[in-house]
Amino acid sequence: MSNILKTSDPTSAQQRRVLITGVTRGLGRAMVDEFVRLGHVVIGCGRSARIIDQLNAGCGAPHRFDVVDVARDAEVQAWATEVIKSHGTPDLLLNNAALINRNAALWRVPAGEFDAVIDVNIKGVANLIRHFVPAMVKAQRGIIVNFSSGWGRATDAEVAPYCATKWAIEGLSRALAQELPGGMAAVPLNPGIIDTEMLRGAFGDAAGSYPTAQKWAKQAVPFLLRIGPKDSGRPLTVS
C-alpha cells in the first residue's frame, strides 16, 4: 500500500494521524485502506491478533496496529502512552469499535451480553477519550468522532441494548464538545447502513442490499477529513 500523499485531493492536502478502533473488519477495516491510500498515517486496534498481524505486514510503518480491547481501561492506557510516544497525538480519533446484541426483546437479553455491549460501546469510547484526549487538549488540536447509529437517534424492537449505547454516545459526544477548547471538535456520527458482519447480525441476508464497507469508505473518509471545529457538538450523518 502506498504512503504517498495525493495532494490533488483537497481532503488529503495535509497528512493526518488517524486513530481508528475496531480495524479488523467492517467499517474500520475499510477506513484503514482508504486513509492509507490517501496518504494518511493510520494507527488502529482490534482484538483479533491474526488480522492485526496481517494489517502490520500489509501496511508497514509508519502505520501501526495493535491488539487492544477497548473495554479494558488499563490496556487502552498502556496503548495510548506508547502511541503518543511513537506517533504523537492523533489528529482524528475515530471511536468505531462496537458490538450489537443478538436480536431479542430486552427482557430476554442475558446480563453478560448486555454488559458486553455497554462495556465496548460506551465504556470503550470513554476509555479512549480518557487516555488520548488529555494530550490532544494540551496540543489544543484534534477531532474526536464517536460512531453512533440511526439507532442512536431512533429505536427498533430487539436492539434495545445497542440503542441504549448509541443514544448514550450522542449525549456523551455533545457534552464532551462543550468541554473541549476552541480548535477541537467532538461529534457523534451516524455512518449510514452498510453491509457488514454487524448488520448481518441484525438484518440477516437483507444486509446484502446495502453498500459494502469498501464502497462506503470512499465516501465516508473524505467526509471525515472535512469535519472541523465548526462541527463540534453537531450530530453528523455520512452523506
Ligand X SMILES: NC(=O)c1ccc[n+]([C@@H]2O[C@H](COP(=O)([O-])OP(=O)(O)OC[C@H]3O[C@@H](n4cnc5c(N)ncnc54)[C@H](OP(=O)(O)O)[C@@H]3O)[C@@H](O)[C@H]2O)c1
* Interface ranges with ligand X (CB under 6 A): 21-28, 45-48, 69-71, 96-99, 120, 124, 147, 149, 191, 193-194, 196-199
Beta strand pairing call for 17-21 and 92-95? parallel
Q: How far apart are CA 234 and CA 185, in angstroms?
A: 9
**Least gap, CB of 165 to ligand X (angstroms):** 8
**Least gap, CB of 84 to ligand X (angstroms):** 18
Residue nearest to ligand X (CB): 26
In order, the DSSP letters of 141-197 are -EEEEEE--GGGTS--TT-HHHHHHHHHHHHHHHHHHHHSPTTEEEEEEE----BSH
Characterise 183 by phi-psi region: left (phi > 0), alpha (psi -120 to 50), beta (else). Answer: left
Beta bridge partners, 190, equal 237
Closest C-alpha to 239, from 190, 166, 197, 195? 190
User: Which residue number, 27 or 39, has a Cβ lying nearer to ligand X?
Assistant: 27
User: Which residue number, 20 or 184, has a Cβ lying nearer to ligand X?
Assistant: 20
User: Which residue number, 183 or 201, has a Cβ lying nearer to ligand X?
Assistant: 201
Residues 66, 52 contacting (CB under 8 angstroms): yes
Of the residues 162, 173, 199, 221, only one is catalytic, namely 162
Cα 203 to chain centroid, rounded: 21
Catalytic-residue membership of 162: yes
**Least gap, CB of 69 to ligand X (angstroms):** 4
User: Which residue number, 12 or 24, has a Cβ lying nearer to ligand X?
Assistant: 24
Q: How far apart are CA 188 and CA 178, in angstroms?
A: 13
User: Which residue number, 28 or 142, has a Cβ lying nearer to ligand X?
Assistant: 28
**Least gap, CB of 124 to ligand X (angstroms):** 6
**Least gap, CB of 206 to ligand X (angstroms):** 12
Characterise 142 by phi-psi region: left (phi > 0), alpha (psi -120 to 50), beta (else). Answer: left
- Tell me which residues are annotated as active site: 162
